[in-house]
């Protein structure tokens, strides 16, 4: 059985290439911070949330 994903907060100098099964909070991007960046050896992705005023 594989361990679950660990949520960690982004910090300067964080080595994303060595992370496996991590969700990185507030990863900086060109368009502002991503809510979460999914980092694993096999998969990578971003989760973005947009707030819409009604």
Mean pLDDT by 10 residues, the chain (54 residues): 80 88 87 81 64 54
Q: CA dist 31 to 3, 20, 26, 46, 51, Å?
A: 32, 25, 12, 12, 15
What is the pLDDT at residue 1? 56
Per-domain residue ranges for the chain? 6-47
What is the pLDDT at residue 19? 84
Quote the distance between the C-alpha of residue 18 and its chain's center: 13
What is the pLDDT at residue 34? 84
What is the pLDDT at residue 43? 67
Judging by beta carbons within 10 Å of its beta carbon (0-12, 13-18, 19+), is residue 39 exposed, middle or buried? buried
d(CA 19, CA 8): 10
pTM: 0.67
């Amino acid at each position: 059985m594989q361990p679950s994903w660990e949520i960690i907060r982004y910090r300067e100098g964080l080595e994303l290439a060595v992370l496996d099964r991590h969700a990185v909070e507030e990863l900086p991007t060109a368009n502002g911070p991503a809510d979460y960046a999914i980092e694993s050896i096999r998969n990578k992705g971003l989760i973005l949330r947009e707030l819409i005023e009604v």
